[in-house]
A and B are shown apart, each in its own frame.
Chain A
Amino acid sequence: MGGLDFSAINWEEMLDATVATLKMLAFSGIFTIILGLPLGIVLYLWGKSNNTIIRVVYSVLSFVVNILRSVPFIILMVALIPFSKSIMGTSIGVLGTIPALVIGAAPFFARLVETALREVDRGIIEAAQGMGASTGQIVMRVLLPEARPGLLAGVTITIVTLVSYTAMSGMIGGGGLGDLAIRYGYYRYEKEVMIISVALMVILVQLLQMAGDRLVRHFTRK
Chain B
Amino acid sequence: MIELKDLTKVYGKGSKAATALSGLSLSIKKGEIFGVIGHSGAGKSTLIRCINLLERPSEGEVWVDGVELTALSQGQLQEQRRKIGMIFQHFNLLSSATVYDNIAFPLRLAGTSKTEIERKVQDLLALVGLEEHRNKYPAQLSGGQKQRVGIARALASDPDVLLCDEATSALDPQTTDSILRLLLDINRKFHLTIVLITHEMHVIQSICDRVAVIHGGGIVEQGDVAQVFLKPRHEVTKEFIRSETQADGPLRQAIDAVHAGYTKAVKITFLGQKTYESTLSHVAQGTGVNFAILQGTISTIKDVPYGQLIVRFEGPSEAVEATLSELAAEGLDVEVIS
Residues of A within 8 A of B (CB): 121, 123-124, 126-134, 137, 141-142, 145-146, 148, 219, 221-222
Q: Which residues of A contact B153 (CB under 8 A)?
A: 131
Closest CB pairs A-B (n = 9):
A132-B81, A127-B92, A123-B92, A132-B78, A132-B82, A145-B96, A131-B106, A130-B86, A221-B137
How far does the Cβ of A111 sit from chain B's closest Cβ, in whole Å?
Answer: 22
| Interface of chain B residues 30 through 79 with chain A (CB within 8 A) | 52, 54, 75, 77-79
User: With A127-B86, A130-B81 known to touch, is A221 a contact of B105 (CB < 8 Å)?
Assistant: no
Q: Indicate the member of A129, A146, A148 with the most B CB atoms within 10 Å.
A: A129
Do A124 and B94 touch (CB < 8 A)? yes
Do B93 and A124 touch (CB < 8 A)? yes
Q: Indicate the member of B96, B137, B138 with the most A CB atoms within 10 Å.
A: B96
Do A221 and B78 touch (CB < 8 A)? no
Question: For the complex, is B88 an interface residue (Cβ under 8 Å from A)?
Answer: yes
Question: For the complex, is B109 an interface residue (Cβ under 8 Å from A)?
Answer: yes
Question: For the complex, is B157 an interface residue (Cβ under 8 Å from A)?
Answer: yes
How far does the Cβ of A144 sit from chain B's closest Cβ, in whole Å?
Answer: 9
| Interface of chain B residues 123 through 167 with chain A (CB within 8 A) | 137-139, 153, 157, 163
Q: Which residues of A contact B86 (CB under 8 A)?
A: 127, 130-131
Q: Indicate the member of A128, A142, A148, A221 with the most B CB atoms within 10 Å.
A: A221
Q: Which residues of A contact B80 (CB under 8 A)?
A: 132
Q: Which residues of B contact A129 (CB under 8 A)?
A: 54, 81
Do B139 and A145 touch (CB < 8 A)? no
Q: Which residues of B contact A222 (CB under 8 A)?
A: 95, 139
Q: State A124–B79 Cα separation when bound (angstroms).
A: 19
Q: Which residues of B contact A142 (CB under 8 A)?
A: 94
Do B92 and A126 touch (CB < 8 A)? yes
Q: State A221–B80 Cα separation when bound (angstroms).
A: 32
Q: State A131–B90 Cα separation when bound (angstroms).
A: 16
Q: State A129–B81 Cα separation when bound (angstroms).
A: 8
Q: State A145–B101 Cα separation when bound (angstroms).
A: 12
Do B109 and A131 touch (CB < 8 A)? yes
Q: State A141–B97 Cα separation when bound (angstroms).
A: 10
How far does the Cβ of A121 sit from chain B's closest Cβ, in whole Å?
Answer: 7
Do B54 and A130 touch (CB < 8 A)? yes
Q: Which of B77, B84, B90, B105 contacts A123 (CB 8 A)?
A: B90
Q: Which of B88, B138, B139, B157 contacts A127 (CB 8 A)?
A: B88
Question: For the complex, is B231 an interface residue (Cβ under 8 Å from A)?
Answer: no
Q: Which residues of B contact A141 (CB under 8 A)?
A: 105, 108-109
Do B84 and A130 touch (CB < 8 A)? yes
Do B95 and A221 touch (CB < 8 A)? yes
Q: Which of B95, B96, B97, B105 contacts A131 (CB 8 A)?
A: B105
Do A131 and B81 touch (CB < 8 A)? yes
How far does the Cβ of A146 sit from chain B's closest Cβ, in whole Å?
Answer: 5
Do A146 and B78 touch (CB < 8 A)? no
Q: Which residues of B contact A219 (CB under 8 A)?
A: 96
Q: Which residues of B contact A128 (CB under 8 A)?
A: 105, 109
Do A221 and B81 touch (CB < 8 A)? no
Q: Which residues of B contact A130 (CB under 8 A)?
A: 52, 54, 81, 84, 86, 163
Q: Which residues of B contact A145 (CB under 8 A)?
A: 94, 96-97
The chain B residue sitting closest to A144, CB to CB, is B96
Q: State A222–B95 Cα separation when bound (angstroms).
A: 7
Q: State A137–B66 Cα separation when bound (angstroms).
A: 27
Do A221 and B96 touch (CB < 8 A)? yes
Q: Which residues of A contact B81 (CB under 8 A)?
A: 129-132
Q: Which residues of A contact B94 (CB under 8 A)?
A: 124, 142, 145-146
Q: State A87–B49 Cα separation when bound (angstroms).
A: 52
Provide 7 A-B residue pairs closer than 8 Å at the C-beta atoms, listed in order of the A residue: A121-B92, A121-B95, A130-B84, A130-B86, A134-B78, A141-B105, A142-B94
